[in-house]
């Protein structure tokens, strides 16, 4: 009896660890596969051998430009932005125990986007300064929404509603700035309205990589505390988590990720919002959602951009495709949360 | 046997702009069972939250072996002092074995591996709470009572020398209530675990407590042996209820019979109320 039960405990635990490893491996393979397809199959098909030669820095006539200058920066930026959105989104959702509490729903993405547009259009800034500006604005919005909705320690539906309001306001700020900038191309405008990786450059990847290392590293190092928060603040505290401190760090790190990605690609619609719940469906309770959600974000951006570029009649920026995917899920969630008060 | 000394002195704490605990002094006798009773909203859960450091005190302190808990490393504290909150949240779809394993949290770190000792702690927590058979079931699908036993198992898996429980018997039928309380006494006898729990049933409180504490509006109204604490006067002052206290023939402890407005057979009692 005793030994039978402990066997169940051990089998159960090993099963979780094994399934988690499989999930990570599959997601990684998926990212790699779509990345490879993006590099080799576009308007023209470049054989894998040639792609490889371009990647190794050889001069390959023809492929040089299409792979090295067009497809590679685009794919790299998609992966990095997807990782950032996926990671930042799920951190908020887990911390606040609500899938609707994602940064793109509660206004943080719009805040970073508005700040970036303002910095570029009005202040004529460029490069990493735009990211810094976006991060500061994102943090400002996070504090604002948090402050407005934190009533006696409970941040539930109130936070979502306040966030949706703030988000709508900031969206109109973006629209206003875009409208008063006459020299703006439609393509650029789309970037700030729904997100796009059109015209990606490799040097845009550097600030994103940096954000991923610093803020992503910070989040992952806190993954156990985040996991504990899923059991409620009281229980997390009882298990030795410093709840307030963890919250603060998670907010800073997640905003840093979201804002950096937004400054590079614009607010790619719903990726932050979708990645966590999709990863949650796959991972169940087998382990931390952070890395699976980051990988899911990368898959979403890569795949949606590929679909928008090559599989639809006409070309659409990535955010239009993710937006079309995310909207029905948002509606479903609102209905469901309304009924039962859901968690992730 | 453990004799960690937990004590609150002059403890004031609360939420954003209200103070709930006002200069609370309470010493938990080591190796004993302490039961806290008090009216709804008098600050019992707030007190436990302050001890688990979810809330920072505005005045006074909580001392563990003479050291302020607010200056101890969190994991050290969580390995000595466990808490089962009043309303913990089970992540959707989590299995019993998984949830109970979360109790091992303070014994692990980001890079440490799960050990045989962890498995054994989970196993013995499951069997102590008679939840071994549920190990593979999702927690969402359990009855309220089964779920409560699983949460208690999780607190047990933490293997702390001091265990605080906020209303561990809610949702349990009378048989399971007694079983849980007996289990805590067993734990106290075999491991010397110091138990502090909040109970609403005054009679069970008096029966199972070595040390009974009555809280009223954020401070200790009276504390001591059940005989000293559970009196008609205490019940009147703390709960605003008339009652009779007699001796329980089963345990020899005091037992309280409430006197409401109805269903009173003996006219003498009716007068007492009026
Ligand atoms: N998170 C919170 N924010 C603000 N006020 C709170 C919070 N939690 C509890 N309170 C208030 O603090 C007071 C004490 O609550 P507490 O939960 O400590 O009572 P309790 O003695 O445990 O009651 P019960 O027997 O109902 O569990 C109540 O007035 C309650 O409204
Ligand atoms: Mg309570």
**CB < 8 Å to A233, chain B:** 54
B123 contact A CB<8A: yes
Q: Using alpha carbons only, give the angle B183, B188, B194 rounded to the nearest 5 degrees.
A: 120
Q: Could you say which of A1, A227, A242 has the minimum Cβ distance to residue B74?
A: A242
Residue of A265, A264, A122 lying closest to A181 (CA atoms): A122
pLDDT of res. B27: 95
Q: How far is CA B204 from CA A46, B11, B192, B256, in A?
A: 78, 27, 21, 10
Residue A335 token pair: 């209905």
pLDDT at A1 over 80: no
Residues with CB under 6 A from ligand 1: A 152-153; B 15, 20, 38, 40-46, 86
Percentage of the residues of chain B whose pLDDT score is greater than 70: 96
Q: Is-contact B168 B157, C-beta < 8 A?
A: no
Residue of A323, A298, A316 lying closest to A78 (CA atoms): A298
Determine the Cα–Cα distance for residues A291 and A277; give it in Å rounded to an integer: 13
Q: What is the ipTM of this complex?
A: 0.89
pLDDT at A4 over 80: no
Average pLDDT estimate for A60-85: 90
pLDDT, tens only, A248-298: 999 999 999 999 999 899 999 899 999 999 999 999 889 999 999 999 999
Residues constituting chain A: 344
Whether residues B89 and A237 touch (CB distance < 8 A) is answered with no
Q: Report how far ligand 2's centroid is from the alpha carbon of B264 (Å).
A: 31
Which of B97, B129, B148 to substitute to test the interface with A, most A CBs within 10 Å?
Answer: B97
For tokens 């399971």, the residue is B176
Strand partners, B257: B244
Q: Is-contact B93 B87, C-beta < 8 A?
A: no
The model's pTM: 0.90
pLDDT at B1 over 50: no
Kindly indicate the confidence band of residue B240, based on its pLDDT and cuts at 50, 70 and 90: very high
Residue A310 token pair: 């090559």
Q: Could you say which of A5, A233, A242 has the minimum Cβ distance to residue B135?
A: A5
pLDDT, tens only, B86-139: 989 999 889 999 999 999 999 987 777 788 899 999 999 999 898 999 999 999
- Coarse DSSP helix, strand, coil percentages of chain B, rounded to the nearest 5 percent: 40, 25, 35
Helices (H), ranges, A180-242: 186-193, 205-211, 217-221, 223-229, 233-238
A97 contact B CB<8A: yes
pLDDT, tens only, B74-89: 889 999 999 999 989 9
């Amino acid at each position: 009896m005793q030994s039978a039960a402990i066997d169940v405990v051990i089998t159960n635990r090993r099963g979780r660890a094994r399934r988690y490893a499989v999930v990570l491996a599959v997601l990684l393979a998926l990212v790699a596969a779509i990345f490879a397809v993006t590099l080799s199959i576009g308007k023209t098909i470049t054989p894998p051998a040639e792609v490889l030669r371009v990647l190794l820095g050889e001069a390959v006539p023809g492929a040089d430009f299409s792979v090295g200058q067009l497809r590679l920066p685009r794919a790299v930026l998609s992966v990095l932005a997807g990782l950032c959105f996926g990671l930042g989104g799920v951190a908020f959702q887990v911390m606040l125990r609500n899938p609707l509490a994602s940064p793109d729903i509660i206004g943080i993405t719009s805040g970073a986007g508005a700040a970036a547009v303002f910095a570029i259009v009005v202040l004529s800034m460029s490069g990493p300064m735009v990211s810094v500006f976006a991060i500061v604005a994102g943090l400002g919005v996070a504090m604002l929404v948090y402050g407005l909705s934190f009533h006696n320690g409970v941040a539930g539906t109130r936070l979502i509603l306040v966030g949706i309001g703030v988000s709508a306001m900031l969206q109109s700020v973006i629209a206003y700035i875009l409208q008063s900038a006459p020299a703006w191309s439609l393509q650029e405008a789309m970037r700030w309205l729904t997100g796009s990786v059109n015209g990606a450059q490799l040097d845009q990847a550097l600030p994103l990589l940096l954000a991923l290392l610093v803020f992503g590293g910070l989040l992952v190092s806190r993954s156990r505390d985040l996991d504990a928060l899923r059991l409620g603040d009281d229980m997390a505290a009882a298990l030795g988590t410093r709840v307030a401190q963890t919250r603060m760090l998670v907010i800073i790190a997640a905003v840093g990720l979201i804002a950096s990605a937004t400054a590079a690609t614009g607010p790619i619609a719903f990726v932050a919002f979708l990645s966590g719940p999709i990863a949650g469906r796959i991972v169940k309770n087998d382990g931390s959602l952070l890395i699976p959600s980051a990988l899911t974000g990368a898959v979403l951006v890569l795949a949606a951009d590929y679909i928008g570029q090559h599989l639809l009649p006409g070309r659409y920026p990535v955010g239009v495709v993710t937006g079309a995917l995310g909207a029905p899920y948002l509606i479903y969630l609102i209905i469901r949360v309304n009924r039962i008060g859901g968690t992730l | 046997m453990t004799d960690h000394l937990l004590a609150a002195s002059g403890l004031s704490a609360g939420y954003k702009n209200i103070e709930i605990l006002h200069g609370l002094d309470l010493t938990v006798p080591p190796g004993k069972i302490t039961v806290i009773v008090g009216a709804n909203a008098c600050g019992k859960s707030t007190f436990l939250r302050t001890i688990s450091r979810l809330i920072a005190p505005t005045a006074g302190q909580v001392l563990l072996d003479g050291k302020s808990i607010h200056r101890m490393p969190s994991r050290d504290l969580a390995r000595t002092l466990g808490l089962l909150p009043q309303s913990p949240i089970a992540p959707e779809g989590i299995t019993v074995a998984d949830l109970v394993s979360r109790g091992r949290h303070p014994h692990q770190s980001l890079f440490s591996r799960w050990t045989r000792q962890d498995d054994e702690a989970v196993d013995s927590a499951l069997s102590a709470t008679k939840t071994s058979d549920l190990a593979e079931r999702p927690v969402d699908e359990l009855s309220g009572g089964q779920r409560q036993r699983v949460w208690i198992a999780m607190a047990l898996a933490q293997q702390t020398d001091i265990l605080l429980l906020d209303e561990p018997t809610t949702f349990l039928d009378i048989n399971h209530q007694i079983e849980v309380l007996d289990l805590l006494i067993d734990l106290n006898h075999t491991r010397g675990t110091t138990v502090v729990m909040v109970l609403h049933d005054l009679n069970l409180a008096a029966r199972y407590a070595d040390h009974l504490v009555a809280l009223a509006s954020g401070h200790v109204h009276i504390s001591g042996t059940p005989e000293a604490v559970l009196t008609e006067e205490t019940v009147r002052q703390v709960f605003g209820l008339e009652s009779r206290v007699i001796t329980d023939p089963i345990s020899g402890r005091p037992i309280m019979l409430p006197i409401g407005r109805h269903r009173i057979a003996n006219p003498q009692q009716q007068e007492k109320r009026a």
